[in-house]
């Protein structure tokens, strides 16, 4: 009884996270059958890196062929379009797509993939503060840890949605998430982790789905 | 009283083993073994020989300074894969050369010989930024059929990767090197025709090809 209560407590106890999503929409999303969406991370900044696992997470959350959202994995797309979407060569503005489309092989490949939207995600998750300390000791009578630690994490991501066919900016989304994790240790350390990046990912994916499929998004 | 004959040798072995463990604990070995995609785009109309020296194919960067632990980073195989793939699909024909300048095939118009000049890296604890960073610099050399230098240019490549939970320093550095090598490939591919000497060579070749295409029509007998 106590064991199951303890296990359940561990599952349900986790640090709290708040997520704020903002949206700026210039045109409604329209995905026809066979259209695909590419989600790419911006990696041109020198002091941070948009995490590949965040891009994977948004892609996996958004990919739903039954609802008409087909997402091409980032790595697959970047390999197929090499070297035109590498950090050094990737188009920074929608109007730069014109120049890229002048290369016949690139245009052909984009058309083969049926790319309708390119979503660029820029940002990162960082630990902003930490406090407390935990000490562990081992002796003949056994081992144990005592103390308390806490740390804050912040996610700040912005997604730009480019309509590849119309070559225009369809809109922008931003996801800001904050959370505090705790680790009390009374003999055993009990981590209460705030899943900040994961919650930012889920919030952004849900908003992107509503953005790309406005009719279905409002029904659900 | 006699000590057992192998008592000292066991002790020695244990000491040597312990010393080896302690030494290896302070040294890091990274072997980068990536494969890279073929570039998408039009090929330059040239028959090119590609010579990757043994030093280039087996390149290992060694660093053992006072500020850092010992690092041995082998990028030879990965950079061989990269240059073979990228140069191999940049031109209408690319011929890998086992030796240079001996036995150069007659139809080769240009020989490309890359050399690695520099590799640098930083770790998160050095920069206080949560990313591993790598810089690689290559000297690129192009020669004609007679072995005369046509062009020399430099390629600089940069790669970074964020620190990740449960990922070793070696894995993170290997990943950053792979990103840098992809960047080197991108720079090589997009920058080749911007080197003035090579731009002129390509323009001459294009002119010669277009004249060749128009010549047969002009040479047809008129009635």
At B140-190, the pLDDT tens digits run 999 999 999 999 999 999 999 987 665 788 999 999 999 999 999 999 999
CA pair distance B73, A23, nearest whole angstrom: 45
B137-142 average pLDDT score: 97
Q: Is B178 on the interface with A (CB under 8 A)?
A: no
- Count of H helices and E strands in chain A? 7, 6
Q: Is B186 on the interface with A (CB under 8 A)?
A: yes
Range in B103-112, B125-134, B196-205 with the lowest mean pLDDT: B125-134
pLDDT in tens, A49-91: 899 999 999 999 999 998 889 999 999 999 999 999 999 999 9
CA pair distance A86, A73, nearest whole angstrom: 15
- The C-alpha of B36 sits at a distance from chain A's nearest C-alpha, in angstroms, of 8
Q: pTM (2 decimals)?
A: 0.84
Q: Which domains does chain B have, with CATH numbers?
A: 46-210 (3.30.160.150)
A151-159 average pLDDT score: 94
Nearest residue in B to A101, CA atom: B41
Q: Is B190 on the interface with A (CB under 8 A)?
A: yes
Model pLDDT, residue B163:
78
B112-121 average pLDDT score: 96
Buried residues in A18-46 as b, exposed as e (16+ CB within 10 A): ebebeeeeeeebbbeeebbbbbbbbbeee
Q: Do A124 and B129 count as a contact with CB atoms less than 8 A apart?
A: no
Phi and psi angles of residue A39, each rounded to the nearest 5 degrees, phi first: -115, 120
pLDDT class of B221 with cuts at 50, 70, 90: low
Q: Do B161 and A49 count as a contact with CB atoms less than 8 A apart?
A: yes
CA pair distance A101, B38, nearest whole angstrom: 18
Q: Do A104 and B187 count as a contact with CB atoms less than 8 A apart?
A: no
Q: Residue B7: is its pLDDT beyond 70?
A: no
Q: Is A53 on the interface with B (CB under 8 A)?
A: yes
Q: Is A195 on the interface with B (CB under 8 A)?
A: no
Count of Cβ atoms closer than 10 Å to residue A214 Cβ: 14
CA pair distance A93, B207, nearest whole angstrom: 35
- The C-alpha of B223 sits at a distance from chain A's nearest C-alpha, in angstroms, of 40
Q: Do B186 and A88 count as a contact with CB atoms less than 8 A apart?
A: yes
Q: Residue B41: is its pLDDT beyond 50?
A: yes
- The C-alpha of B135 sits at a distance from chain A's nearest C-alpha, in angstroms, of 13
Q: Whole-number mean pLDDT of chain B?
A: 86
Model pLDDT, residue B127:
82
| Residue A150, CA atoms < 13 Å, CB-side half-sphere | 9
Q: Residue B13: is its pLDDT beyond 70?
A: no
pLDDT class of A48 with cuts at 50, 70, 90: confident
Considering only CB atoms, B183 lies closest to which of A53, A86, A106, namely A86
Q: Residue A219: is its pLDDT beyond 50?
A: no
Buried residues in A91-125 as b, exposed as e (16+ CB within 10 A): beebeebeebeeeeebeebbeebbbbbbbbbbbbb
Model pLDDT, residue B19:
57
Written as one string, the DSSP assignment of A110-172 is HHHHTEEEEEEEEEEEEEEEEEEEEEEEEETTEEEEEEEEEEEEEEEEEEEEEETTTTEEEEE
- The C-alpha of B148 sits at a distance from chain A's nearest C-alpha, in angstroms, of 30
Q: Which tokens is A40 given? A: 């790419």
Q: Is A111 on the interface with B (CB under 8 A)?
A: no
Q: Do B41 and A103 count as a contact with CB atoms less than 8 A apart?
A: yes
Q: Among 1.10.3470, 3.30.450, 3.30.70, 3.40.50, what is the CATH number of A21-124+155-174+195-219?
A: 3.40.50
- The size of the A-B interface in CB pairs under 8 A is 55
Percent of chain A with pLDDT over 90: 66
* Interface residue of A76, A88, A99, A124 to substitute, partner B, most B CBs within 10 Å: A88
Percent of chain B with pLDDT over 70: 83
Nearest residue in B to A76, CA atom: B37
Model pLDDT, residue B85:
96
Domain boundaries, chain A: 21-124+155-174+195-219
Count of Cβ atoms closer than 10 Å to residue A145 Cβ: 17
What is the β-pairing status of strands B70-74 and B27-31? parallel
Contacts of A90-94 spanning 24+ positions with Cβ under 8 A: A90/A40, A90/A42, A90/A44, A92/A44, A94/A162, A94/A167, A94/A168, A94/A169
Percent of chain A with pLDDT over 70: 90
Q: Residue A150: is its pLDDT beyond 90?
A: yes
Q: Which residues contact B66 (CB under 8 A, 6 or more apart)?
A: none
Q: Residue A214: is its pLDDT beyond 80?
A: no
pLDDT in tens, A179-205: 999 999 998 989 899 999 999 999 999
* Interface residue of A43, A47, A49 to substitute, partner B, most B CBs within 10 Å: A49
A13-20 average pLDDT score: 80
Q: Residue B182: list chain A partners with CB under 8 A.
A: 82-83, 86
Burial class (CB in 10 A: 0-12, 13-18, 19+), A148: middle
Q: Is the peptide bond before B93 cis (omega within 30 degrees of 0)?
A: no
pLDDT class of B3 with cuts at 50, 70, 90: very low
pLDDT class of A2 with cuts at 50, 70, 90: low
Q: Residue B191: list chain A partners with CB under 8 A.
A: none
| Residue A35, CA atoms < 13 Å, CB-side half-sphere | 17
Considering only CB atoms, B41 lies closest to which of A49, A106, A126, namely A106
Considering only CB atoms, A109 lies closest to which of B40, B160, B162, namely B40
Indicate if ipTM > 0.95: no
Q: Whole-number mean pLDDT of chain A?
A: 88
Q: Which residues contact A196 (CB under 8 A, 6 or more apart)?
A: A17, A125, A153, A154, A155, A177, A178, A179
pLDDT class of A25 with cuts at 50, 70, 90: confident
Model pLDDT, residue B89:
94
CA pair distance A82, B163, nearest whole angstrom: 25
């Amino acid at each position: 009884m106590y064991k199951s209560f303890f296990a359940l407590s561990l599952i349900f106890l986790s640090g709290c996270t708040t997520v704020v999503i903002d949206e700026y929409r210039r045109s409604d999303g329209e995905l026809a059958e066979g259209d695909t969406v590419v989600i790419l991370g911006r990696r041109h900044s020198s002091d941070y890196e948009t995490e590949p696992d965040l891009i994977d997470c948004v892609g996996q959350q958004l990919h739903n062929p039954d609802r008409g959202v087909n997402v091409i994995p980032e790595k697959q797309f970047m390999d197929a379009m090499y070297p035109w979407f590498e950090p050094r060569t990737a188009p920074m503005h929608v109007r730069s797509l014109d120049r890229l489309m002048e290369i016949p092989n690139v245009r052909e490949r984009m058309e083969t993939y049926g790319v309708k939207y390119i979503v660029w995600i820029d940002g990162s998750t960082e630990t902003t503060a930490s406090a407390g300390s935990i000490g562990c000791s081992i002796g003949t009578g056994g081992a144990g840890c005592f103390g308390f630690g806490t740390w804050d994490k912040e996610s700040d991501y912005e997604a730009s949605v480019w309509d590849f066919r119309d070559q225009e900016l369809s809109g922008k989304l931003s996801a800001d998430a904050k959370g505090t994790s705790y680790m009390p240790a009374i003999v055993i350390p009990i981590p209460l982790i705030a899943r900040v990046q994961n919650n930012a990912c889920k919030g952004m994916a849900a908003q992107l789905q509503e953005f790309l499929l406005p009719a279905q998004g409002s029904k659900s | 009283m006699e000590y057992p004959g192998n008592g000292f040798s066991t002790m020695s072995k244990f000491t040597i083993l312990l010393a080896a463990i302690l030494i290896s604990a302070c040294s890091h070995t990274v072997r980068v073994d990536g494969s890279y995609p073929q570039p998408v785009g039009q090929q330059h109309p040239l028959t090119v020989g590609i010579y990757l020296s043994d030093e280039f194919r087996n390149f290992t960067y060694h660093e053992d300074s006072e500020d850092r632990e010992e690092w041995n980073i082998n990028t030879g195989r990965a950079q061989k894969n990269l240059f073979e793939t990228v140069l191999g699909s940049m031109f209408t024909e690319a011929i890998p050369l086992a030796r240079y300048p001996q036995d150069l095939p007659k139809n080769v118009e240009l020989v490309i010989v890359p050399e690695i000049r520099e590799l640098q890296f930083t770790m998160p604890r050095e920069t206080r930024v949560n990313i591993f960073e790598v810089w690689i610099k290559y000297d690129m050399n192009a020669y004609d059929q007679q072995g005369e230098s046509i062009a020399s240019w430099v390629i600089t490549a940069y790669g970074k990767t964020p620190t990740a939970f449960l990922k070793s320093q070696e894995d993170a550095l290997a990943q950053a090197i792979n990103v840098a090598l992809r960047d080197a490939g991108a720079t090589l591919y997009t920058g080749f025709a911007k080197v003035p000497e090579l731009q002129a060579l390509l323009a001459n070749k294009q002119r010669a090809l277009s004249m060749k295409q128009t010549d047969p029509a002009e040479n047809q007998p008129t009635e």
